[in-house]
Structure 1
Amino acid sequence: MALRTPFLILALLATAAPALAAPLAGDVARGERLYGSRCGFCHSLDGNRFGPRHRGVYGRHVAAVPDFRYSKALAARTFTWNDQTLDAWLADPKRFVPGTSMGARTASPQDRADLIAYLRAHP
């Protein structure tokens, strides 16, 4: 049993390593292309569409665009959009805020980092 303990610790550390890694650097230009192809149907930087406008979303409180009607689930939240919240939202909005109307997910961590870099670049 004593021999298994070091292997178990190494296995746990290897599993946790991705979570301990530094955040991915985002590419603004690639994020712009991704935004146009994946987000642009429902969102724009400066006008509300099916979703709220995104200019200034980074650092803004959730559900804070005054002339957009948010889902009850999103309107009930109190967080601010930052690297962590945007990453969780883009990865799986319905898991991050159950009851939200947004269902589009971005599986790739690099794609999420690039989209966040693009949004951060448009205060």
Structure 2
Amino acid sequence: MREIMFATVLALASASISQAQAQDAAAGEKVFAACKACHQIGETAKNGVGPELNGLIGRKAGSVAGYNYSAANKNSGLTWDEATFREYIKDPKAKVPGTKMIYAGLKDQKKTDDLVAFLKQFDASGKKQ
């Protein structure tokens, strides 16, 4: 009986964790609404004022084909992992002096977490994983 109870509690906890992650990505989509003025993401994403953001996490900075990056961004040597993106989005001009990105920064840690969860869903082709 104990084993059945433990298995049930474990299954419910796993479902809650998955649901919380989905909620984070959904909240991140709302945060991304502010980014849409310059960036696109998804299967039909194109470069605009800023580069498209498909497959951002794991991508080398300044590497989206067809986008005219600043020399600062192209030569930054950065690869967008979660920690680097979090630092950048908090204060882009401090992380990459000379960047063309005109965004004051996202200071709210929860919104940053949600945004990262949203962005991580998209592979390099724009498909949700």
TM class by shorter chain equals 0.7 to 0.9
Runs of 4+ aligned structure 1 residues displaced above 6 Å come to none
**How many residues are matched?**
98
Give the secondary structure class of the aligned counterpart of 2:76: coil
Counterpart position of 1:60:
59
- Residue ranges of structure 1 left out of the alignment (5+ in a row): 1-24
State the secondary structure of the residue aligned to 1:27.
Answer: helix
SS of equivalent residue, structure 1 residue 40 = helix
Query: Hey, what does 2:112 align to over in structure 1?
Result: 112
Matched, 1:34 2:31: yes
Q: TM-score, normalised by structure 2?
A: 0.72
Does the CA-based 8 Å contact 1:91-1:107 persist in structure 2? yes
Match for 1:121: what amino acid? Answer: Q
Q: Which residue of 1 aligns with 2:47?
A: 48
Shift of 1:103: 2.8
Amino acid at match of 1:97: V
Contact map agreement 1:92 1:103 (CA 8 A) in 2: no
Structure 2 alignment gaps of length 5 or more: 1-20, 124-129
The CA deviation at 1:63 is 0.6
Distance 1:47 1:81 in 2: 19
Aligned-CA RMSD value: 1.4
Q: TM-score, normalised by structure 1?
A: 0.76
What amino acid is aligned across from residue 122 of structure 2 in structure 1?
A: H
Identity of aligned residues (%): 33
- Any idea what the Cα deviations from partners look like across 1:46-101, whole Å, max 9, x if unmatched? 11110000011111111110110001100111121111011001100000000111
Please name the residue that 1:121 is paired with.
121
Q: Which residue of 1 aligns with 2:13?
A: none
